[in-house]
Amino acid sequence: MTLQHPAPAGTSTSPAPSTADGAPSDAVLHLAGVSVLRSGNVLLDAVHLTVRAGEHWALLGPNGAGKSTMLGLAGALTHPSRGTVDVLGRRIGRTDLMSLRREIGHVDPRHPVPGPMTIEEVVLTGLTGSRATMMRWEPSAAQRTHVRELVDQLGLAGKASREWPLLSQGERGRALIARALVVEPRLLLLDEPATGLDVAAREQLLETVDHLHMLWPDLASVLVTHHLEELPVTTTHAALLNGGHLVAAGPVDDVLTSDQVSATFEHPIRIAREDGRWRASSPRTAPSLG
């Protein structure tokens, strides 16, 4: 994603060629002057963003900042009240949303899995966009082979036949990533994918995310989180939201600064980065001994 105006430091201001609708021709996701109002409340206010192939974005902000609303627009799950949203070159409001959604990978750790389905069966539901296996639908041999290869690539080798209730939370997270990728999307949305994971499972999940970006270098992604510690090393860009407004957006090292993160969360926060990972802490003043 690239902030359209004003451009953050280190971001090119040279515009890409545009389509007839005004979106950059190389855009995977394009939000132009987007506002979302619900029941008199402003959830997003005049947001301008563009995501391009190979960019991996973090979307951060406090509760109620508008992160879920923006992810809903990116996933073709909702319409803007004002402005335009283009996803994979198709404009929301002018295209069949059901068809478009099947071309977007969406990872939600709260995704319900009914009954004792196996990993393979759960991943196959990504092809039909359903929660359970569709009646009278039978995957082809090629589709089953593709699913097993994908499961193996994401660190679940030999586990395709394991049933969901027997999986760890970390294994479930990687299986849901496989489910999102089975349609070979150009855009991957990750909605707080580390929710409910212990430290070891979180690290395994983030290693998986870093690995898939190497496997599919043109894949663009947007990851929503509250915690900087949950950002993969491969994160390239970041956007900070507060009250439906963009506080900052652009290359990750320009955006995730102590000043800007503190302004976003309205609390003094010190940001540090080591070995490609981020850490947030609250500056503390030594107590008085007098």
Q: Mind listing the pLDDT tens digit for each residue in 54-74?
A: 999 999 999 999 999 999 999
Q: Which of 143, 166, 184 is the last residue of a domain?
A: 184
**pTM exceeds 0.75 for this model:** yes
More confident residue, 21 or 130: 130
Cis amide leading into 17 (omega within 30):
no
Mean pLDDT score across all residues of the chain: 88
pLDDT for 21:
64
Q: Are the CB atoms for 92 and 99 separated by under 8 Å?
A: no
Question: 4 with 133, same domain?
Answer: no
Under the banding of pLDDT at 50, 70 and 90, the label for residue 214 is confident
State the total domains in the chain: 2
The beta strands (E) that lie in 72-129 are given as 82-87, 90-91, 104-107
Q: For residue 42, give every residue at least 6 positions away whose Cβ sits within 8 Å of its Cβ, in sequence order, or none.
A: 35, 36, 244
Question: 164 with 207, same domain?
Answer: no
Q: What are the structure tokens assigned to 274, written together? A: 């080591």
Q: Are the CB atoms for 234 and 210 separated by under 8 Å?
A: yes
Q: Are the CB atoms for 62 and 266 separated by under 8 Å?
A: yes
How large is the average pLDDT for residues 192-210?
A: 92
State how far the Cα of 29 lies from the Cα of 45, in Å rounded to an integer: 17
| Residue 207 lies in domain | 1-103+185-290
74: domain CATH number? 3.40.50.300
pLDDT for 134:
80
Question: 121 with 70, same domain?
Answer: no
How large is the average pLDDT for residues 195-202?
A: 91
Task: Check pLDDT > 50 for residue 35.
Answer: yes
